[in-house]
Structure 1
């Protein structure tokens, strides 16, 4: 049984809170700041977890990642599609295309289009699969760490060129994967050289990195007028984008490794896929309806975007606890996990 890494779960939990908060109507400067690093941060953490030895060949890789990523993606996409049909039936969504388009679109997976109007943040799961596939192929072609590093940089450059010259979303967000694989690879290399880098886990380095993150992120937005947003194919100035993203990743790695273990953040981190899949198109959608049809809409406290954003985020955390419990206990296949019965059989066979 694999032992969970506490600080990694804390990081995923904190990252998921930032994702949910970023999907609310918070003040633009705060959203712009969050977007400078929060998606690269998730790819970095995913890269830290990869163990290349468990994938001796492409067949094994595709089998395991189909179970752990593609199956959950398709399951939650189906849930999102059924929800979409429900709200469409009650006239709560403005949609004028064939109702089968989103269903087929779950397989086509072109973000920011009529194909994925129902799925929201699930684009990340499809993109993560492509990112991991690219990294796996790079590791097989490169073999040495220097060669892997070279191909990571080369692919990132190609991804940035495509983003600037074309910018059209590709199926399964392959265009984003060419960029995100660099952050994924950085997570892999951080694990490889973690012992040597531990001496930088201190307050002085944190202050330096968070300052660099804020300044370069601010300069990127001011200079280009673009907010970094993978979903919308927006990076702004490439150099400033990478400086801000990597400094933000470094700062938050130091933060989560220095802070005390937080069971709430660890819980969210362990169940981040459920929160990612259900918070935006379902929970937040319901919040909007409730607020618009209640006295809360006239309350002055809700008029403050920051308070409203925090309210949405933290209520979503609590409301999704029953969903987390139900899915992990009764529908674990939706998370790419083995059922309890199958797990007992495996343990009996091993003994």
Structure 2
């Protein structure tokens, strides 16, 4: 029984790591020249790739481990806050040093997040808000209602002239107010038990494939429309598609593929921090070659993958504290 339980636990973690790996791959693709190649694919990726990471983060929150705020913040200092400030400062300095023409930075990004590092800041802000809301409201319906109401009110205050709320600039508190990442994080935590106790062996391949096809069609149909807060519709479609694909891959006996995707999924912080800098810097090399848009993007992606692999191995071996380990 213990062995079976361990196998189930391992499988649960594996499909989530696969999902994170596929998700970060889409993040990288979305930050390349994909928009010039296919606007439809670009729009689809951007409809859900970041919401998915917030939801997965909420899914992995084990609130029973944190009896009080002190124990919670102590843990997050090691795993999120210190890595964010260290890596974000490094990214900011590199961007300034390289002076990449189309990437604009200022000093505020040392706090708010430079390039894709804004995601880590938004994640931490969402976690803080959720920690207190989760303590106040035990009913999940009430919890989501409070969160959605806070998001709407926050968006309202972001648009109110600063003199009405006693601020010099609205943007000064905009980064610490609740926003949609909090909603996705909360949904992830609400479905945590169902997702982590999912018996993937009982899921039929034909059923998963059919659902994926239907959701892909729906997701493509939803792309041209702007839904405001109801952007969650295409977002959830994309998240479910990638989740189902991850479950399928975790069940297949393709060791190399699974281990590669899981490796990517377990090292998302380094990839988030450096992929844009590396990809854009590679243009220094490829601009001297007569390449089409597709060829240029492909070559830079290959060079990016090799460079990131080296960075991941180096950080994990020599500076694990920089990546929250």
> Does the TM-score normalized on the shorter chain lie above 0.5?
yes
Provide closer, same or farther for how the CA distance between residues 126 and 289 of structure 1 changes in structure 2, counting only shifts above 3 A.
Answer: same
How far 1:246 moved relative to its partner?
Answer: 1.0
> Could you give the per-residue CA deviations for residues 5-38 of structure 1, whole angstroms, max 9, x where no partner exists?
1111111111111111111122333211210111
How far 1:165 moved relative to its partner?
Answer: 7.4
TM-score by length of 1: 0.75
- Give me the whole-angstrom Cα distance separating, in 1, the residues matched to 2:315 and 2:156: 40
- RMSD across aligned C-alpha pairs, in angstroms? 3.0
Q: What is the aligned partner in structure 1 of residue 266 from structure 2? A: 270
In the alignment, does 2:70 pair up with 1:69? no
Q: What is the aligned partner in structure 2 of residue 344 from structure 1? A: none
How far 1:326 moved relative to its partner?
Answer: 1.0
> Could you give the per-residue CA deviations for residues 177-223 of structure 1, whole angstroms, max 9, x where no partner exists?
52111111221122223358976972222222222222112233xxx
Q: What is the aligned partner in structure 2 of residue 253 from structure 1? A: 243
Q: What is the aligned partner in structure 2 of residue 318 from structure 1? A: 306
- Give me the whole-angstrom Cα distance separating, in 2, the residues matched to 1:53 and 1:160: 31
Q: Matched residue pairs, number?
A: 295
Provide closer, same or farther for how the CA distance between residues 87 and 257 of structure 1 changes in structure 2, counting only shifts above 3 A.
Answer: same
- Aligned residue for 2:224, secondary structure, equals helix
How far 1:140 moved relative to its partner?
Answer: 0.6
Alignment of 1:1-351 (within 5 A): 5-26=13-34, 27=36, 28-88=39-99, 93=101, 102=107, 105-107=109-111, 109=112, 119-159=114-154, 161=156, 173-175=175-177, 177-194=178-195, 202-220=208-226, 237-238=227-228, 240-259=230-249, 260=252, 262-281=258-277, 283-292=278-287, 294=288, 296=289, 298=290, 302-304=291-293, 306-337=294-325
- Give me the whole-angstrom Cα distance separating, in 2, the residues matched to 1:326 and 1:106: 24
Q: Contact 2:158 / 2:174 at 8 angstroms: preserved in 1?
A: no
- Give me the whole-angstrom Cα distance separating, in 2, the residues matched to 1:144 and 1:258: 32
How far 1:125 moved relative to its partner?
Answer: 0.6
- Give me the whole-angstrom Cα distance separating, in 2, the residues matched to 1:219 and 1:93: 33
Listed as ranges, the gaps of 5+ residues in structure 2 are 1-8, 162-169
TM-score by length of 2: 0.80
Q: Contact 1:21 / 1:310 at 8 angstroms: preserved in 2?
A: no
- Give me the whole-angstrom Cα distance separating, in 2, the residues matched to 1:55 and 1:270: 23
Listed as ranges, the gaps of 5+ residues in structure 1 are 112-118, 221-236, 338-351
